[in-house]
Amino acid sequence: MSQTKAIIETEHTYGAHHYGRLEMVVKSTEGCWLTDMDGNKFLDCLAAYSAANQGHHNPKIVSALTDALNNNYASVISNVVYTEKLTEFLEKTAKTVPQLGPRFGDHPNKVLPKNGGVESVETAIKAARYYGWKSKGIDDGKQEIIVFSNNFHGRMTTVVSFSSSEKYKKGFGPLTQGFKIVEYGDLEATKAAITPNTCGILVEPMQGEGGMNIPPEGFLKGLRQLSDDNDLILLFDEIQVGLGRTGKMFAFEHENVIPDAVILGKAISGGMVPVSVFVANGKLMDLVFQPGSDGSTYGGYPLACVAGIAALDVIINDKLAERSAEKGAILKEKIEAIAARSDCVKEVRGLGLFIGIEVKNGDAMEYCRKLLELGVLANDSHGHTIRISPPLVINDEEIEYLCERLEKVLVG
Ligand SMILES: Cc1ncc(COP(=O)(O)O)c(C=O)c1O
């Protein structure tokens, strides 16, 4: 039996079936490339759902981490004491995000660090609910948050409770109450969903898992207005689309709309260790969280912070948001030209290096499997759309490599 087959079989024996898998075993990674057990190379057009924006094994992040490990500065200490790296990471993150929630005053952003993205989504939900109770006088237990169709915010119990996808929540009840699902992009429906118990709105400024959807122009601005008019906490989940992915540092900058709080994850550590953060206007953060009301053993531990500092430095200093805008425009134009020659493409949409190719037969994985045979890793978004989201360090030669293969798969 080949090593590849043996690894897959062993994983099937001992691992839970939590993801639909492509038949590939990765041995090493570098930049935009993955190498399998037999030495075959694949251009990574998934970038771990944006976690590897800086390119796999980015040398600056690797060297920051190895320095920390070699200098005994890595293990969990506990947040009951301070560490220099946590302080540095919090300050850098707070200052990288534009001043949030100006309606609360000019209080510097504050940051609450966690591990996986969904943990910070739950933190955001707690923040909006607490604000609703403490500041708006909503009865505790009656708070409502508005969310949107085709949302994806992770897979823990509370978060799947408001998924519009049955498969994420069926059989996992009792589900968490307090959410109203509204059509993504529909401002009138959002307005109609607001009640005296509404405390917040949670939205992805662009949807990744939901089909690579850009909201209609004015939607985010409208949500800002509704939040201001009704004293709601406007929460943007930028876990997948933030940190340069869409050609701006944050996707909300395309519409110049400032939320009250933002959730970041994935690329905030450059794909090296799990890190996520909830960032809010300092006044809001101080109102909601007091010692004991939140916390996480690994959240903000030194190794995470070392990775986070280096990962943010790479995005800022290497101008990866600008690069995403430039290379994304080139790639999208080429994909649109391929789509115009193809009988199977329904629509191409995206911003920066966040491009979806919706296929007419609704089975994007069929095309992803063919791409894999040709040396490209991509996967579907919402079944019907091929997601093209390579590391933001992709160069022109690699874009050419990808487009040659897209041409073969989509045109023939
Ligand atoms: C927009 C968004 N929110 C939340 C999450 C959940 O993040 P994690 O898988 O790190 O928990 C994801 C993951 O894909 C995401 O894309």
Residue partners of 397: CB distance under 8 A and separation at least 6:
none
- Find the 343 Cα to ligand 1 centroid distance in Å: 33
Is 239 near ligand 1, meaning CB less than 6 Å away? yes
Is 51 near ligand 1, meaning CB less than 6 Å away? no
Which amino acid residue places its CA nearest to atom 3 of ligand 1? 153
- Find the 408 Cα to ligand 1 centroid distance in Å: 32
Is 265 near ligand 1, meaning CB less than 6 Å away? yes
Per-residue pLDDT of the chain (412 residues; tens, 9 = 90+): 899 999 999 999 999 998 888 889 999 999 999 999 999 999 999 999 999 999 999 999 999 999 999 998 888 999 999 999 999 999 999 999 999 999 999 999 999 999 999 999 999 999 999 999 999 999 999 999 999 999 999 999 999 999 999 999 999 999 999 999 999 999 999 999 999 999 999 999 999 999 999 999 999 999 999 999 999 999 999 999 999 999 999 999 999 999 999 999 999 999 999 999 999 999 999 999 999 999 999 999 999 999 999 999 999 999 999 999 999 999 999 999 999 999 999 999 999 999 999 999 999 999 999 999 999 999 999 999 999 999 999 999 999 999 999 999 999 9
Read off the pTM.
0.97
Q: Which residues are catalytic?
A: 152, 237, 266
- Number of other residues whose CB lies within 10 A of the CB of residue 379: 20
- Find the 81 Cα to ligand 1 centroid distance in Å: 29
Residue partners of 14: CB distance under 8 A and separation at least 6:
none
- Find the 118 Cα to ligand 1 centroid distance in Å: 6
What domains lie within the chain, and their CATH numbers? 67-317 (3.40.640.10), 319-349 (no CATH)
Is 193 near ligand 1, meaning CB less than 6 Å away? no
Which amino acid residue places its CA nearest to atom 6 of ligand 1? 154
Is 354 near ligand 1, meaning CB less than 6 Å away? no
